[in-house]
Amino acid sequence: MASQVLVAANRGPLSYALDADGTLSSRRGGGGLVSGLSAALAAQPEALWICAALSDADREAVRRGVSEPGVRMLDIDPEVYDDAYNGIANSVLWFTHHHLYDVPREPVFDAAFRRRWDSYTAYNQAFAEALAEEAAEGASVLVQDYHLALVPGALRELRPDLRIAHFTHTPWASREFLDMLPDDIRSQLVWGMLGADRLGFHTWGWADNFISGATMDDVRGVASAFFPRDGQSGVHHRRTTADGSGYGEKRFTAVTQYPLGVDEEDLRTLAHRPEVDDKLAALRAEVGDRRTIVRVDRTELSKNVLRGLLAYRELLTVHPEWRGRVVHLASAYPSRQDLEVYRAYTASVRELAAEINEEFGTEDWQPVLLSVQDDFARSLAAYRLADVALINPVRDGMNLVAKEIPVVSEAGCALVLSTGAGAYEELRGDALTVSPYDVSATAAALHEALSMPPAERAERTKRLAAAATALPPAAWFTAQLDALRG
């Protein structure tokens, strides 16, 4: 049966593992997109989620016809998928939007890049075709993230009757970084996105970056202007015809912010399951009556885990009074380990944590408890135990952890938050804010956070939690769907 509401995202709500005896088991996917979208879709039982098979086990599930209701996994050729996901989405687009390039060496746009870009285009086309196949007449399609930036344009070609939205869960690159892409690639990227009727970002900052990039003079064939219409920002555009002799249809793409928040009740329920209680008891036994500084991230370059550890080391050096009285609970669970740069980063995180433990640890005190397992229950237990939350990304679309910890921390927590997080726009008033690069300022903020009087901490946490829950996933999704349906 054709669907009225469809979402498309690279990662699905679950992924499969194949045991030695050939049994398939499923588990929840990681990262902010999956947690937000899964929560949103719980209230949309009719919706169809189209995602990619990410691994051999997922492909096996597709072949065996194993699936969950409301989910369709696409079995894309593994080489095409690898080039599109690792080669372009995570090595080029992710680095461009997060400004992560080590510029003396990167980026390099050569023949190998062109081959990968062709795969990225094919992979986007596969999503567009699956959506075109599954969508009812006039259906609403909500495409997610940088993996699928070309889908809106490709889908509009196939099915002009559909209402198409795209939401970006990452930042959008500043003009300088967007400008690094080869001209024709930048143009394809922007035109792919402009195929949508509506584009969503977590903050106005990222939305403005998109508008400014899309209206750059040299994005080929774009005759565009940007001005608010009915209080709505966006881009007017007309594409030059293939022979360059004129312009095609004039269209408007609205560009809006939808700052994803968390659902207080759901999160509290999750955080108080017996499994989490057990993990909490175990953590309490390890930590004793010491204060805790908590962080939970994928081991992701943009999360800035290394400078966080350096700041903790500086705290213990400059404020020796905290030695033996604080523990840094750092969860940095594995992510994107197919990429060498992520494996090296993960190794550096482990080394630095070990160095700090070596330098300051005593017989009965381990300064850093690093967990590199993807253990959701343990992460929630750490949230509950948090006295201080350390969220210091260099650049991050939103950062839901910054919103989750204040909601579940039991004694209220002081939030140390960098200016690079999208969440900074909403939480800055009650956080201790730092530049992500300034290790000394971060160390000083950690000291201030640990020293904050309990009453002030409780007050700030209350306001942080209120801001964090302003737009929970279901409302975030419905707002976009309603706007799309006009």
d(CA 208, CA 206): 5
Least Å distance, CB 12 to ligand G6P, is 10
**For ligand G6P, the closer CB: 198 or 298:** 298
Q: Look at residues 398, 405, 431, 408 and name the one whose alpha carbon lies nearest to residue 293.
A: 405
d(CA 313, CA 362): 15
Among 3, 170, 399, 442, which residue sits at the site for ligand G6P (rule: CB under 6 A)?
170
Point out which span in 31-39, 115-123, 262-270, 337-345 binds ligand G6P (CB under 6 A).
31-39
Among 31, 107, 324, 334, which residue sits at the site for ligand G6P (rule: CB under 6 A)?
31
Place of tokens 């095409």: 80
Q: Look at residues 267, 263, 261 and name the one whose alpha carbon lies nearest to residue 409.
A: 267
**For ligand G6P, the closer CB: 401 or 443:** 401
Residue 107 within binding range of ligand G6P, rule CB under 6 A: no
Among 6, 12, 14, 32, which residue sits at the site for ligand G6P (rule: CB under 6 A)?
32
Compute CA distances 301 → 95, 202, 348, 393, 400, whole Å.
9, 20, 11, 9, 17
Least Å distance, CB 327 to ligand G6P, is 27
**For ligand G6P, the closer CB: 145 or 263:** 145
**For ligand G6P, the closer CB: 90 or 256:** 90
In sequence order, the 6+-apart residues with CB closer than 8 A to the CB of 124 are 84, 148, 149, 150, 151, 154, 192
Q: Look at residues 317, 329, 315 and name the one whose alpha carbon lies nearest to residue 368.
A: 329
Task: Name the burial class of residue 297, with classes exposed (0-12), middle (13-18) and buried (19+) by CB atoms within 10 angstroms of its CB.
Answer: buried
3-state secondary structure of 260: coil
Binding mask 279-318 toward ligand G6P (x if CB under 6 A, else -) reads ----------------------------------------
Bridge partners, residue 142, by sequence: 7, 165
Residue 11 within binding range of ligand G6P, rule CB under 6 A: yes
Least Å distance, CB 150 to ligand G6P, is 15
Point out which span in 26-34, 66-74, 213-221, 477-485 binds ligand G6P (CB under 6 A).
26-34
DSSP string, 162-185: SEEEEEESS----HHHHTTS-HHH
Least Å distance, CB 149 to ligand G6P, is 12
Cβ atoms of 309 and 356 within 8 Å: the answer is yes
Tokens of 111: 């023949």
Residue 395 within binding range of ligand G6P, rule CB under 6 A: no
Query: How many C-beta neighbours within 10 Å does residue 377 have?
Result: 17
d(CA 169, CA 202): 7
Tokens of 389: 């939350």
Among 5, 6, 7, 33, which residue sits at the site for ligand G6P (rule: CB under 6 A)?
33
Give the count of alpha carbons within 13 A of 323, CB side only.
Answer: 15
Least Å distance, CB 334 to ligand G6P, is 9
Bridge partners, residue 193, by sequence: none
Nearest residue by C-beta to ligand G6P? 31
**For ligand G6P, the closer CB: 144 or 233:** 144
Query: How many C-beta neighbours within 10 Å does residue 2 have?
Result: 11
Least Å distance, CB 421 to ligand G6P, is 12
Binding mask 110-149 toward ligand G6P (x if CB under 6 A, else -) reads -----------------------------------x----
Point out which span in 28-36, 118-126, 132-140, 192-200 binds ligand G6P (CB under 6 A).
28-36
Q: Look at residues 425, 410, 404, 414 and name the one whose alpha carbon lies nearest to residue 456.
A: 414
Least Å distance, CB 335 to ligand G6P, is 5
Instruction: Please report, as residue ranges, which positions from 328 to 357 form the binding site for ligand G6P (by CB under 6 A).
Output: 335-336
Point out which span in 29-37, 203-211, 383-391, 417-425 binds ligand G6P (CB under 6 A).
29-37
User: Which residues here bind ligand G6P, judged by CB under 6 A?
Assistant: 11, 30-34, 145, 169-170, 335-336
